[in-house]
A and B are shown apart, each in its own frame.
Chain A
Amino acid sequence: MSVAGPEAEARQRRWLTLPAVAVITLFGVLPLVIVVVYSLLRSAPYGGVEWTFSTDAYVSFLYQKDIFDDTLQFHADYLLIYGRSLAFSVVTTFVCLILGFPTAYFIATRPVATRQIWLLLVTIPFWSNLLIRTLAIMLLIRDDGLVNNGLMWLGVIDTPFVMIFTDFAIVLGLFYSFLPFMVLPLFSSLEKLDFRLVEAGFDLYANRFQVLTRIILPIARPGIVAGCLLVFIPCIGAYVTPLILGGGKHLMIGSLIAEQFGSARNWPMGAAQALILMAGVLVALWFYGRNARRGVAHAR
């Protein structure tokens, strides 16, 4: 290395970021710009776009044009789909939190040597493809799948318990896919928790529930917020899981957008839907930023 001053050295180091900046610009910012541009164009009848400016794609998110007199009428179809996706994501995030927290707590309280093994076990699902795992769930919960056959063999039920292509199947699939994203950040914040604080809580007359809600949860808050976002954000745009396990009975955001680019041949509409989803996620991130900052201030 040359004997450059600290400023020159900093300037030199800046070049190290070049590959990352190039990749993000090329495959992140540029496509996003294209999506923004396409969302503001008119759709061509056989896919693609006509190069005329139009806000139709955004307007038609909430309004339907009357075919006779061109007046706008409010329709809630898309809102309903967004609402449904939101509901699935909220439920999945909640289930992940409720079941992921005890798991993370359990791992964080193991001796350091065995913690690594438990963490490895949590990441095992990542070793195989999401599509394959989802199809495997399908095999388990089908009408003549392992679960139903097992329960009938045991005599618990006479007729198959319908699980596949239901809301339950979608939440189960989403929960299974995203649980590690909840457990890992929860673990990393619980691992840092000083368990002498728990003792101090008991010493000061708190019962188990109060120790959990008044001491452990507030201190683990940054991990909780991070885990919830890491589950919620991919959940709301999830495509494969709702499609396979939900049987396409209920349209979700992911399928909706895919459909616009596919069979509906309305690219501007698909682009607009994607941007609306992104705006929603950004709002969620902003909330996260606010809460995380508060959480950090607490933890310090």
Chain B
Amino acid sequence: MSELQLAMTNTAGLTSVMSFWVFVGSNISKRWRELMLKVALAVMVVGFVALTVAIVTRGIDAGRFPLANLYESLLWFAWATMGGYLLMQKLYSIQHLGWLASLTAATMFLYGSWLPASQHEITPLVPALVSYWRQIHVPPLICSYAMFFISGLSGLVQLWQSGRLRALAFAVGALVFAISAIGLGTFTSLDTFLLQGLFVGGSIAGLSAAWLSLNKISSGRVNQERAELYDEVGYRGIMIGFPLLTIGIITGGLWANHAWGNYWSWDPKESMALVTWLSYAAYIHLRIHRECSAEKLSLVTVAGMILTLLTYLGFNSLGFGGLHSYGRFK
């Protein structure tokens, strides 16, 4: 790893943590709110630019497109999350989401930094990855995952703004279970079935409890205008992420057909991407159907975020196998 690449990656990591704290401060302090928001956004822009330089430098150092293992994909994910948030911020001025977007990017940096040194090193590609299809197939997928995350985070803020605090607590609980299972699966040797149980059981229990708690409204906390705004942000996030996911899946099929003569082989990663696609297709149809409240749809975006997490990181850490095991390091 070159010094410039290391410096830029560290800058991006540090700025994501800094912007997180300044965004948090802006939500607490009414007096300095506007100033802190501007500072937080500026810091995030610096981080985004630094990460762009880091990724480009890594590509130049490696002499190939820099998206070939888990560590590199985490850099891309953090980049897409920051970029996705900045885009949404420009369209909607959604300051309340800033700290969550920064937290997501910072978590990805932290997760990446804890991976073994072999993941940080630039390693040669296995024969299956030596193809121009890699740069066509993978970036849309990673960017779609980031947009689904922004959408899910908007769902959480929407629940807060609509006064569904109990449902929000359960939804966050579901996320904590899912993230814990992935963290334990990555960095410990706990039994795979136990971790799968933790992920699935925690997610289903949390989301079911949240669904059943949607009628409990803390009326003093309701901000209808903002609730509508975050509902729309969640929808727009999906309407950007869904085409990207579709393009990623289709180009993956075309690559597989070009390389092995088969569009689809029900490989676990392919299946998980299809599950995510079907879930968001269901969300879009639910929205068309227009009988679902904004809060129910917000919970669907949170469920989608958990499925995205399972497709992206859970696949490797929770013991799924198959052709797409390039991100594995255990």
Are these two chains actual partners, yes or no? no
Which A residues are closer than 8 A to B by beta carbons?
none
Which B residues are closer than 8 A to A by beta carbons?
none
